Every structure is written in structure tokens, then in C-alpha cells.
Structure 1
Amino acid sequence: MSGSTPSAAQSVFDEIVATHILHLTPAHLGNLLEGAKSHLDQSLLKYSPKLQGVPLCYGKVELAKYMPTPGAVHPPEDLGTPSAAILFDNPCIHVPVKVYWTVFTPRPGVRLLGVVNQMSREHVGLLVVNYFTAVIYAHQLEAVLKWNEEEQSWESRRTGKLVEDGQEITFEVLELLLEGPVFTIVGSLDKMLKEPVIPTKQVKSPENKKRKL
């Protein structure tokens, strides 16, 4: 295995520090952090445009400094301090929090490991890290594979070996198809990839990169 392959796999996991304004009900006044965590839990495993990926989990959550909204009334001593606000006629508490996320970020050009779970003449379907859906359409397969009508499976042009359900395939990310919080990874096989197999542990245990939003 080449030294560059693991780093390509690792690049799909980022540690991201982001600040969010959460809108909590007054029931959480007694414990804003617990209310914030309950709210953040609902964002897990859904695509986030702000994070440009899918939040898998979060670590530390901190109350952040509240920046006043034009027209809102705040005591001068409260400005710029960790706090929450009730604005206008909105009954919710507006709570700024700083969150330390671990995010799955499959950017175009990154190589991923997928496990085959569907096949047809038009595509190969895969699961990535046992959860996310990926698809490679026929025109992105045909440089490496060809359709075997008798076996109803794709096979290697080089070796004639059939692709099987449960087989691991390394592919390149082309784009993400988004439908609200749900997304599908669209990928490609090319002549350079041949048929490499990366041990699953290489993909599941990356060194995370850090960035702030």
C-alpha cells in the first residue's frame, strides 16, 4: 500500500470549531448547556451546509459571547459576556454556543472505501463507514469494469473477477447530491485506481484536521 493512500482516506474527517445561535424553549432556563446539547443531538448524522459535511459527534460545548441584535435591549454589563437573550416577542431563548465537532467531509477528489451493497447495469451502490450511501454510475465504472449480463454483476476488465456484495472498493468522490439533510456520495472508478482494497480500520480511525467556523 502506498504512503499516500491512508492520508487520502483520513482527509474525510475534520475537527471543526463552530459557533451557533440555538433557539431553546424557556424550559431549559435552569440548564442552558443541557438544553444546547439536546438541540445539537438533533443535528447529528445530517448534512450541515455551515459545517460543509455531516456532524458525527461533538465534544466540548461552551456558552459563547452574545452579540446584540439591532433593536434588542441589553444591560450594558451583559454585552460580550457568555449569556442568552429573549428577543422581541419570540418566547425562545437565543443561546450562542461554541461547539467542537467531528465532521465527515467527503470532498470531491478524495478517495473513499465503500462496501458494495447493490448492483445493476446502471450503477454500483455502496456503504461508506457502514452508514453513508454512495453510488457509482455505469459511465464512471466502465474504464475498469464491464457488465456481465449472465451473472448480473460487474466484472474486472483486467482479471475477469466478478464484483460481489460485501466487497470493498476504493473510489474517488465526484460530488454530493443533497436533498435537505440527506445526501448521496457520487463517485468514480478510473484506470489509476485499478482494484485496491484499503483495510477498513484505515478509514475509521483517521487523524482529524482542525478548522474553525
Structure 2
Amino acid sequence: MKNQTHFKQVITRLVLKLSPCFASEPRKGVEEYLKKLLMRYVPEFDGIVIGYTNVQFLQKNAEILFDSPYFSVKVGVIFNLFTPQKNLEIVGKVNKVSADHIGLLLYGVVNASIPSDKIRKKNFKWDENSFAWKETFGERRKICNGCVMKFTIVDVLKANDMLTVIGSLLEKPDETGIIKEGEDEPETMAMDIDEVKTETAAPAKNNKIVWDDNDDEEEQEEEEEEDESNKNDSDASTEDSDEDEE
């Protein structure tokens, strides 16, 4: 059985409306749109976009509807998402400590908080002198800024394109707590992304939009053929008129 993770990868299709200023550089317009999604919670994906890749156009021509100055393009993109799951453990770096709660940052993406009533009081006690939560036995390590901890997610709050994770040290006491004591420059934690894909078909391999002028060429060819036909009819009429005069 595959390990559960808080990261996933999704393949999807998007229809984007781009400004006329990107008519000659549609890929630039698509990139600007996608960059605005980074580090934001997207309800449709139920996760925070931490990256994207494999951006490809799914059509040859752009579409303009009615009198709108914007043109629509269909693109395929693979999103890497951070999707914290309730009742699972997660690792975070402590960035704030008080008697009321422990604040953490998860993979540099999402804020998390462990309220004081979710801290094991028999294992940790608030020390006003050192302004930290200290272990009550053993090595008596301190929960302070830069400390790395594992805890259980008990709730995920979603509001204003952001996520806030509520954690607890009460569940699974043998598996949660201090992993590494605080340091001035703690190591960056790697993201283990689970490649979970949607049922959406994989993107096509078109890498750019080609503005198709075939329709204009066909209209021009039809006009030239019509002019040639009219000219021939006119020449034939002139010949008939000359024969009558004779």
C-alpha cells in the first residue's frame, strides 16, 4: 500500500481569456495567469498550487466571441498541489511560541497552529523564563523557534485563498512531538509529491498557437476567381457585340 501524503499532482484543462496585448505572445499571457495561482488555495483542486509544469496549448486557433476584445485559449497543465489531510501526521517548523499556542510553517507554504489545549501537558510545560514549552522529563528539550515537530492535523480552515492547519499532540503521542531541536538555519524539508492524476486526458503536444489565415486566403482566392469569371463574361459580351456590328 502506498504511503499517504499531503501532496498530489493533477492533470487538468483550462480555458483562459487573454488580453489582446498577448495576441503575438499567447504563451506569455498563459504564464502570467498561472503564476497568479502560485501559493494560493484553489477550491476546484482543493489544494494550494505550489508549482506547475507541462503547459501546452490544446488547439491551433484562439477564439474570439462576439465583440469581446479578449481571446480564449485552451491549455493543458499539470499542477503540483499541497493538500493537507485531516487525521494524518505532518511535519512543520516552529516560527512562533506562546503560552496559548505553537505556530508552525509547513514546507514554507501553509501556516499551522497547535492550541495549548492540544498540547500534552504531561509531556510539555510552559516555561515563562525561557519563553518556551519544555519537556517535563528526559532531555527536557524546548519547543522554540526553528524547532522541527511532527503533529496530527485535526482541522483545515479555508478562507480568502488561504489555508490554516490546526494541529494536535494529543493523538498518537508516541509518534508526535519534537523531531529536531531549534537551530538558527534549519534544513529545508523536502516535498514528497504523490502523482495522483485526474481522469482528464493528457495535454496535447502543441506548444504554441498558430494564427490561421487560411480562411482569409480562401476568401481572397474566391474573390479572384469571381473577378476572373466576370472578366471572361465581359470579354465574351464584347466579342458578341463586335460580331453584331459586322
TM range (shorter): 0.7 to 0.9
- Residue 12 (structure 1) aligned to one of 6, 26, 39: 6
Q: Distance in 2 between matches of 1:148 and 1:185?
A: 25
In the TM superposition, what whole-angstrom CA distance separates every residue of 1:163-209 from its partner, at most 9, and x where no partner exists? 122111011222222231222222111223243528967x5142532
Q: Which moved more, 1:162-171 or 1:145-154?
A: 145-154
Q: Which amino acid aligns with 1:146?
A: K
- The offset of 1:149, in angstroms, is 3.1
Which stretch shows the higher mean deviation, 171-180 or 35-44? 171-180
Q: Which residue does 1:93 correspond to in 2?
A: 71
Cα–Cα, structure 1 residues 49 and 171, in superposed 2: closer, same or farther, change >3 Å?
same
8 A Cα contact 2:51 2:81, kept in partner: yes
| Deviating more after overlay: 91-100 vs 141-150 | 141-150
- 1:126 corresponds to which of 98, 104, 107: 104
Residue 138 of structure 1, CA deviation: 0.9
What TM-score do you get using the length of structure 1 for normalisation?
0.77
Structure 1: any 5+ residue segments left out of the alignment? 65-80
Q: TM-score, normalised by structure 2?
A: 0.68
Cα RMSD (Å): 2.5
**C-alpha separation between the residues in 1 aligned to 2:176 and 2:75?**
46
Structure 2 Cα separation of the partners of residues 173 and 84 of structure 1: 44
Structure 1 residue aligned with 2:163, among 183, 188, 194?
A: 183
Provide the C-alpha distance between the structure 1 equivalents of 2:162 and 2:82, rounded to a whole number of angstroms: 13
In terms of fraction of residues, the more helix-rich structure is: 2
Give the Cα–Cα distance (whole angstroms) in 2 for the partners of residues 156 and 40 of structure 1.
Answer: 45
Aligned partner of 1:133: which letter? N
Does 2:17 correspond to 1:23?
yes
Q: Which of 154, 157, 179 in structure 2 is aligned with 1:174?
A: 154
SS of 1:134's partner is strand
Relative to structure 1, is the Cα distance of residues 150 and 106 closer, same or farther in structure 2, using a 3 angstrom cutoff?
same
In 2 relative to 1, CA 148–117 (structure 1 residues): closer, same or farther, beyond 3 Å? same
Aligned residues: percent identity?
A: 24
1-structure distance, mates of 2:43, 2:54: 21
Q: How many residues align?
A: 189
Equivalent residues in 2 for 1:19-168 (5 A)? 19-64=13-58, 82-142=60-120, 144-159=123-138, 160-168=140-148
Q: Could you say which structure has the larger radius of gyration?
A: 2
Q: Which moved more, 1:126-135 or 1:98-107?
A: 126-135
